[in-house]
């Protein structure tokens, strides 16, 4: 029997009485727009033995809200590698730095874990299709899982989304539309949900309250996998790039499940890597309901928002967490540095985790012997155009040593 119990309002804890993507009516009457959370009882539960890698995140299916015999839609997501980062770890000042590489998921991002569960729920609920507002990773994941489920998928995105991401989403069979503004995406998405019955694969309301509470539980599997990969140990810190914070919140839920099962006696510290101080300022001000922070266009598209959800703030508080920012120049520099030291080409938003980690080490918040996990959410191949901002033009040369040496000096600044 699974550990799932029910869904409640994250603030007043009353059971869900509306659609899961709407706000609690009792809190809304008081002026609060909040998400629901899934409730589990993990007392006496144990993590299942690893018998078949193809099970992916569904090895942990009793820790999700799917019914016991419910079918699920999977592409083999999960089981992503945990690498020790020796060179950049030494540069930053850490002896035990690890990378959880989510770019090894089927659509090359961590969003596969959540979208697999969301599309599984949509299929179980006999939804006519999937709809999502996305700048890339989540849209690609939703499109891929909808394709496997045989469901139509509509993606609303913004003018600045990379051509690579548009191609990827369309290749999976999604119908992709650009709207003039980010808020326009939500307007048309809501019409498909409320008037056509489409299942939302991203948050529906504005201000944002977070993604599907059922889907976010997919990120619990990151916590379970890391615990097992560290030989049943808990890290001291998890550094996670955040937009609204679904991933960080899901990881915290997984860690709390492990504590409730008796595997660990403490929760790791959580560090949020962001662009516009959304979590950092709201933590400082101890806001019950997060207040939007000013933002502007950023190449760290996946995390470029001034909003954060209350559940993310709650998770940071429970785990004695912190938040710091990464600007575009820092992210680009770290992307180049990461690739040259560790051979990992990560998207700029992923590199924000390393930018923030280095700041926290310099502050003394994270100690040299702390065991630290940085979450690399996706690959730089999702947006190679951004990387080209700092790369030299590839020279075309004659097949002579003289031409080679001249081009090495002129293009790369190297004497040979």
Domain boundaries, the chain: 82-108+215-387, 391-416
pLDDT of residue 242: 97
**Residue recorded with tokens 């629901």:** 36
Burial of 33 (0-12, 13-18, 19+ CB in 10 A): middle
User: What are the average pLDDT values for consecutive 10-residue runs of the chain, which has 416 residues?
Assistant: 90 92 91 91 92 81 88 94 98 98 97 97 95 91 97 92 90 95 89 96 88 96 97 97 96 98 97 97 91 92 92 94 97 96 96 98 98 97 88 93 95 92
Tokens describing residue 5: 């119990």
**Residue 136 and residue 382 in contact, taking contact as beta carbons nearer than 8 Å:** yes
In order, the DSSP letters of 153-192 are: EEEEE-TTS-HHHHHHHHHTT-EEEE-SSHHHHHHHHHHH
Report the pLDDT value the prediction gives residue 53, as an integer from 0 to 100.
Answer: 63
What number does CATH give the domain 82-108+215-387? Answer: 3.40.50.1100
Within 10 angstroms of residue 179's Cβ, the number of other Cβ atoms is: 17
pLDDT at position 158, please?
86
* Model pLDDT, residue 248: 98
- Tokens read off for 245: 């914070």
């Amino acid at each position: 029997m699974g550990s799932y119990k029910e869904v409640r309002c994250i603030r007043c804890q009353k059971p869900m009485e509306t659609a899961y993507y709407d706000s609690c009516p009792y809190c809304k009457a008081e002026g609060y727009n909040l998400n629901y959370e899934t409730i589990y009882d993990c007392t006496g539960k144990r993590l299942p033995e690893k018998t078949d890698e193809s099970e992916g995140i569904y090895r942990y299916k009793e820790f999700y809200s799917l019914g016991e015999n419910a079918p699920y839609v999977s592409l083999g997501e999960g089981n992503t590698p945990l690498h020790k980062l020796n060179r950049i770890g030494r540069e930053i000042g850490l002896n035990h730095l690890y990378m959880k590489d989510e770019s090894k998921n089927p659509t090359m991002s961590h969003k596969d874990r959540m979208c697999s569960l969301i599309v599984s729920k949509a299929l179980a609920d006999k939804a006519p299709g999937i709809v999502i507002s996305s700048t890339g990773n989540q849209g690609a994941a939703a499109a891929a899982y909808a394709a496997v489920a045989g469901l139509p998928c509509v993606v609303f995105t913004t003018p600045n989304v990379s051509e690579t991401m548009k191609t990827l989403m369309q290749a999976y069979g999604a119908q992709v539309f650009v709207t003039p503004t980010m808020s326009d995406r939500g307007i048309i998405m809501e019409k498909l949900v409320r008037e056509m019955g489409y299942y939302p694969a991203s948050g529906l309301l504005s201000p944002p309250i977070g993604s599907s509470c059922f889907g976010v539980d997919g990120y619990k599997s990151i916590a379970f996998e890391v615990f097992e990969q560290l030989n049943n140990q808990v890290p001291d810190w998890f550094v996670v790039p955040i937009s609204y914070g679904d991933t960080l919140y899901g990881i915290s839920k997984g860690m709390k499940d492990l504590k409730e099962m008796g595997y660990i006696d403490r929760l790791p510290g959580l560090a949020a890597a962001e662009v516009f101080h959304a979590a950092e300022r709201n933590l400082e001000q101890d806001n019950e309901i997060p207040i939007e922070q000013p933002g502007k266009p950023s190449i760290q598209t996946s995390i470029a928002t001034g909003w954060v959800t209350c559940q993310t703030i709650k998770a940071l508080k429970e785990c004695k967490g912190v938040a710091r920012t990464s600007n575009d120049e820092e992210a680009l520099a770290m992307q180049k540095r990461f690739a040259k030291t560790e051979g990992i080409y990560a998207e700029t938003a992923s590199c924000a985790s390393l930018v923030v980690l280095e700041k926290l080490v310099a502050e003394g918040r994270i100690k040299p012997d702390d065991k630290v996990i940085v979450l690399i959410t996706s690959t730089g191949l999702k947006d190679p155009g951004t990387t080209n901002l700092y790369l030299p033009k590839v020279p075309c040369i004659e097949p002579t040593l003289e031409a080679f040496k001249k081009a090495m000096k002129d293009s790369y600044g190297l004497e040979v």
